[in-house]
Amino acid sequence: MLRIENLTKTFGEKVAVDNLSLHIAPGEIYGFIGHNGAGKTTTLRSVAGIQEFDNGRILINGTSIVDDPIACKSQMAYIPDNPDLYEFMSGIKYLNFIANIFGVSEELRQERIRDLAGRLELTDDLAQPIATYSHGMKQKLALISAWLHDPKLIVMDEPFVGLDPKASFLMKGMMREACDHGAAIFFSTHVLEVAEKLCDKVAIIKQGRLIRSGTMEEVKGDESLESVFLELEAQ
Amino acid sequence: MVWILLKKQLLEVWRGYFFDAKTGNARSKASTAIRFALFALLMVVVLGGMFTGLSIVICDPLTSSGTGWLYFVIMGAIAVLLGAFGAALNSFSSIYMAKDNDLLLSLPIPIKTILISRLLNVYLLGLMYTVVVLVPTLIVHWVTVELNVALVMTSLIWAILITALVLALSCLIGWVIAKINLKFRRKSFVAVFGVLVFLVLYFLFVSSFGNLIEDIATNVIYYGELVQESSSLLYWFGLAADGGWLALAGFAAVCAVLLALTWILISRSFLHIATSSGKQKKAVYREKATKQKSPASALLMKEFTRFTSSANYMINTGLGIVFLVLAGALILWQGSTISVSLHLFFAGIPGATAILLTTCICMMSVMIDTAAPSVSLEGKSLWIVRSLPVSSWQILQSKVNMQYILTAVPALFCSVCAVIAVSCTLMEALMLLLVPQVFALFQSHCDLTLGVLWPNLTWTSEVVPIKRGMAIFLSLIIGAVSGLVLGGVFFLVGHITGFTLYFIIVIAIFCAATVALRLWLKRSGCRRFEAL
């Protein structure tokens, strides 16, 4: 579903991502962990097609994000670490805007909005302007908008930040459900306990370089993900 | 601490002059100097020149007849009006709506300090407006009358007090706007309505101002006695600058009390207003079927929602819509009079009436420049459109289309009114109908080009890209120059080319310029947008 080959991105003299390669198959939840400034967000933004990169290839379902960005973007959804949404719109207007862009039919969008907003308990606030939303509510709205068009690849940067415990629990269920239906999820997190329980595969990045990746068992062995991560960070 | 906060705010206001908004790199000294020189040109030469002219016209007749105080009443009132209303919307945006209010309130900074830094910022903007009136007022007065130390001192202190009065008034107006903003649901439209009412009053005042000044200059004694008898407050206000120490002390006391009251009002309400979302009823969500739209119309609707959600955006970039509609109605109403006057005046120049009316319509269209700040207004939400399956050109096109629709429809209305009301030939009618449309197309492409070339995505108050961006500044200049050239060149070469050929050349030039800009936007413009 997602293949990253030798991705390199520099900002001035700083190498943010250094020759990074990853492969994420359909049905996989892939965790991406690393300290602050390790290059996670740059990688995720490059995958989402909103960050130009210097070298390498990013293929979504076999299509290069550089050669055909629209075909790639129509198959995926992206949620940044800080969901700055259109504050001048109401929640429902924003969802309809996203649905229109992705060509979601009237019936389908109505059904999905009802289902997703109901599950995340946002239905009563959909008519309110986004400017009045809390961080958590914006995060929930961003989640609904991401799930609205049934994407094949979901890319998320720190998706659990700001969510209340119930919403976090629901979201984990939604992630697993999406993958069971064949989608792939690539997300960054600092919550290693969540990553350990939720992810099928995990990649650890340090100073732009991939230092370990594979299935959860391959990466952590008998230890906890936290101790492996701290050990690798200390090296 | 106040200085640090003020420096941060000033840097935001003038950032475009020192740093490239796209790269964040510092500009060269020459580039910064050119920017400041252009700004100084606008403030000193254009605005300052206008008020210097007015001062010269009225100073001598008023001072020579012993009513120098009336000179200061007139000029002081202009300075107060210009400063207070010029800075009012800024005071509302920068005091209550600043996006970094939450951040600053969370830091160990006393609220008083935050507020003082905000007020200093409002003061500096008000100062900028009042100085262009006050400096020529004082200089012309000092040159005209026989100077003494007392006169210089009182007029200087009076001018300083006026800047304080402007601060108090702009803060009070800003406070009223903030309260309205909290009360009303459709606040952006309420604000636009308020501004339109103000503008109508302003234009009524300006339209009779010339005659009034002329009348005052010729009937100095009569008006002097009239003001002195009917409004002693105004008399004392003028006398304060004209060597009246007692009046000056009174004026200073009034300013001090007003400033103190403003401070008490603002410092007590700031936290509540800045952190309140208003006493609005919660909108109830009712599920209903929504018609599916194409991505292009969804993007266009997004632009329209952005436009109608912000009073600042509508007032500063859409005022031409109102002017075009009002002008159309005026032409219909007074069409025969306008037609007869223009035909009499330009009897020997065929097509002159059509050219003049077309120029007027185009000049009013220039005041619709929504595309210029539209790229900057994406701000931190830029990731949304960038991550969606739409091309950069589709995103840019929606911005061009909105400005074109907002301009073309009222311009067409105005053109049709002109064709109906003013007797013209078929070619003249065609010019009146076609040129404003082609001009609107050119202007919308030009404005978006400027928006792509001078983006600013890091603002904390939307006023920054809407009012103070280089894109919006150049948009007005280029638009006005293009409009003036369209009309002006006809009177220079029109007799050589003839009306029909001139009309064809104008259409061809604007079409060619539009095509060139469109091609640039589709290639380089998209690349620049993607690199933001």
Give the residue from B244, B275, B306 where a domain finishes: B275
Q: Using alpha carbons only, how large is chain A's radius of gyration in Å?
A: 18
Dihedral, CA atoms, B301, B306, B307, B312, nearest 10 degrees? Answer: 180
Among B284, B294, B387, beta carbon nearest to A49? B387
Among B286, B297, B388, beta carbon nearest to A73? B388
**Distance from C-alpha of B440 to C-alpha of A231, rounded to nearest angstrom:** 64
**Distance in Å from the first CA to the final CA of chain A:** 32
pLDDT in tens, B218-266: 787 888 888 777 778 888 898 899 888 999 999 999 999 999 999 999 8
**Distance from C-alpha of B14 to C-alpha of B7, rounded to nearest angstrom:** 10
Cβ neighbours of A87 in B, within 8 Å: 381
B interface with A, Cβ–Cβ < 8 A, is 277, 282-287, 289-295, 297-299, 301-302, 305-306, 309-310, 379-381, 383-384, 386-391, 530-531
Hey, are the CB atoms on B298 and A126 less than 8 Å from each other?
Answer: no
Cβ neighbours of B294 in A, within 8 Å: 100
**Distance from C-alpha of B277 to C-alpha of B243, rounded to nearest angstrom:** 49
Cβ neighbours of B283 in A, within 8 Å: 90, 127-129
Span B179-192, mean pLDDT?
73
Q: What is the reported pLDDT for B187? A: 67
Tell me: pLDDT of B278 over 60.
no
CB of A52 less than 8 A from some CB of B:
yes
Q: What is the reported pLDDT for B221? A: 80
Q: Using alpha carbons only, how large is chain B's radius of gyration in Å?
A: 26
The model's confidence at residue B23, banded by pLDDT at 50, 70 and 90, is: low
The model's confidence at residue B274, banded by pLDDT at 50, 70 and 90, is: confident
Give residues with Cβ within 8 angstroms of A176, minimum separation 6. A29, A198
B226 with B331, same domain: the answer is no
The model's confidence at residue A117, banded by pLDDT at 50, 70 and 90, is: very high
Hey, are the CB atoms on A98 and B388 less than 8 Å from each other?
Answer: yes
Q: How confident is the prediction for chain B on average, in pLDDT?
A: 86
Cite the beta strand spans of chain A per DSSP E.
2-11, 14-24, 29-33, 55-60, 63-64, 76-79, 153-157, 184-188, 201-206, 209-215
Residue A85's identity, in one-letter code, is: L
Hey, are the CB atoms on A100 and B298 less than 8 Å from each other?
Answer: yes
pLDDT in tens, B378-433: 989 999 999 999 999 999 999 999 999 999 999 999 999 999 988 888 888 998 99
Higher pLDDT, B360 or B94: B360
pLDDT in tens, A79-108: 998 889 999 999 999 999 999 999 999 989
Chain A nearest-CA residue for B379: A84
B440 with B484, same domain: the answer is yes
Chain B nearest-CA residue for A71: B389
Q: Within 13 A of B249's CA, how many CA atoms are on the CB side? A: 2
pLDDT in tens, B194-218: 777 777 777 777 777 777 777 877 7
Hey, are the CB atoms on A132 and B277 less than 8 Å from each other?
Answer: yes
User: B47 near B66, Cβ under 8 Å?
Assistant: no
Q: Which residues are registered as beta bridge partners of A206? A: A209
In angstroms, what CA-CA distances link B472 with A88, B15, B316, B405, B513? Answer: 21, 15, 10, 19, 19
The model's confidence at residue B191, banded by pLDDT at 50, 70 and 90, is: confident
Cite the beta strand spans of B328-390 per DSSP E.
none
Query: What CATH fold (topology level) applies to the domain A2-75+152-234?
Result: Rossmann fold (3.40.50)
**Distance from C-alpha of B101 to C-alpha of B80, rounded to nearest angstrom:** 28
- Return the residue in A9, A54, A100 with the most chain B beta carbons within 10 A, the one to mutate for interface testing: A100
Among B379, B380, B383, beta carbon nearest to A50? B383
**Distance from C-alpha of A183 to C-alpha of A26, rounded to nearest angstrom:** 5
Q: Domain extents for chain A?
A: 2-75+152-234, 89-150
Cβ neighbours of B387 in A, within 8 Å: 48-50, 73, 78
User: A9 near A42, Cβ under 8 Å?
Assistant: yes
pLDDT in tens, B480-529: 898 888 888 888 887 788 888 888 999 999 999 999 999 999 999 999 99
CB of A103 less than 8 A from some CB of B:
yes
Among A45, A87, A123, beta carbon nearest to B285? A123
Does a structural domain hold residue B22?
no
Dihedral, CA atoms, B462, B467, B469, B471, nearest 10 degrees? Answer: 110
B246 with B346, same domain: the answer is no
For chains A and B, what is the number of CB pairs under 8 angstroms? 100
B271 with B321, same domain: the answer is no
Chain B nearest-CA residue for A66: B530
Q: What is the reported pLDDT for B108? A: 81
Higher pLDDT, B224 or B191: B224
Span A175-203, mean pLDDT?
90
The model's confidence at residue A187, banded by pLDDT at 50, 70 and 90, is: very high
Cite the beta strand spans of B453-522 per DSSP E.
none
Å between A145 CA and nearest CA of chain B: 11
Span A175-180, mean pLDDT?
92
Å between B383 CA and nearest CA of chain A: 7
Tell me: pLDDT of B43 over 80.
no
Q: What number of other Cβ atoms are within 10 A of residue A122's Cβ?
A: 23
Place of tokens 């949404």: A85
CB of A97 less than 8 A from some CB of B:
yes
Chain B nearest-CA residue for A53: B531
**Distance from C-alpha of B138 to C-alpha of B327, rounded to nearest angstrom:** 38
Among B283, B298, B379, beta carbon nearest to A127? B283
User: B126 near B162, Cβ under 8 Å?
Assistant: no
Chain A, 124-183: which have a CB under 8 Å from a chain B CB? Answer: 124-129, 131-132
Å between B409 CA and nearest CA of chain A: 25
Least confident of A142-146, A229-233, B361-365: A229-233
Burial per residue of B191-218, b for 16 or more beta-carbon CB atoms within 10 angstroms, e otherwise: bbebbeeeeeeeeeeeeeeeeeeeebbe
Q: How confident is the prediction for chain A on average, in pLDDT?
A: 90
Q: What is the reported pLDDT for A118? A: 92
Cβ neighbours of B290 in A, within 8 Å: 96, 99, 106, 109-110
DSSP A150-214: --SEEEEESTTTT--HHHHHHHHHHHHHHHHTT-EEEEE-S-HHHHHHH-SEEEEEETTEEEEEE
Span A17-42, mean pLDDT?
91
pLDDT in tens, B94-150: 788 777 777 888 888 888 888 888 888 888 888 888 999 999 999 999 999 888 888
In angstroms, what CA-CA distances link B395 with A198, B338, B402, B527? Answer: 37, 43, 11, 12
Q: What is the reported pLDDT for A148? A: 93
Give the structural domain span for B372: 295-530
The model's confidence at residue B64, banded by pLDDT at 50, 70 and 90, is: confident
Chain B nearest-CA residue for A108: B289
Tell me: pLDDT of B279 over 60.
no
Burial per residue of A27-38, b for 16 or more beta-carbon CB atoms within 10 angstroms, e otherwise: ebbbbbbbeeeb
Among A48, A82, A110, beta carbon nearest to B387? A48
Cβ neighbours of A48 in B, within 8 Å: 383, 386-387
Least confident of A156-165, B151-160, B439-448: A156-165
User: B67 near B58, Cβ under 8 Å?
Assistant: no
Q: What is the reported pLDDT for B21? A: 61
Q: Please report how the helices B392-421 and B352-365 are oriented relative to each other, as an axis angle in degrees rounded to 10.
A: 140
Chain A nearest-CA residue for B280: A128
Among B282, B287, B299, beta carbon nearest to A110? B287
Residue among A152, A207, A180 nearest A36 (CA): A207
Å between B456 CA and nearest CA of chain A: 16
Q: What number of other Cβ atoms are within 10 A of residue B441's Cβ?
A: 22
Burial per residue of B319-341, b for 16 or more beta-carbon CB atoms within 10 angstroms, e otherwise: bbbbbbbbbbeebbeebeebbee
Hey, are the CB atoms on B389 and A86 less than 8 Å from each other?
Answer: no
DSSP character at residue B44? I
**Distance from C-alpha of A97 to C-alpha of B395, rounded to nearest angstrom:** 13
Q: Please tell me the total count of domains within chain B.
A: 2
Hey, are the CB atoms on A78 and B387 less than 8 Å from each other?
Answer: yes
Least confident of A175-184, B137-146, B455-464: B455-464
ipTM score for this prediction: 0.89
Span A193-208, mean pLDDT?
88
Dihedral, CA atoms, A89, A91, A92, A93, nearest 10 degrees? Answer: 20
In angstroms, what CA-CA distances link B137 with A14, A117, B86, B131, B154? Answer: 56, 63, 19, 9, 13
CB of A37 less than 8 A from some CB of B:
no
Å between A226 CA and nearest CA of chain B: 31
A218, exposed or middle or buried, with CB in 10 Å at 0-12, 13-18, 19+?
exposed
Cβ neighbours of A85 in B, within 8 Å: 381, 384
Does a structural domain hold residue B454?
yes
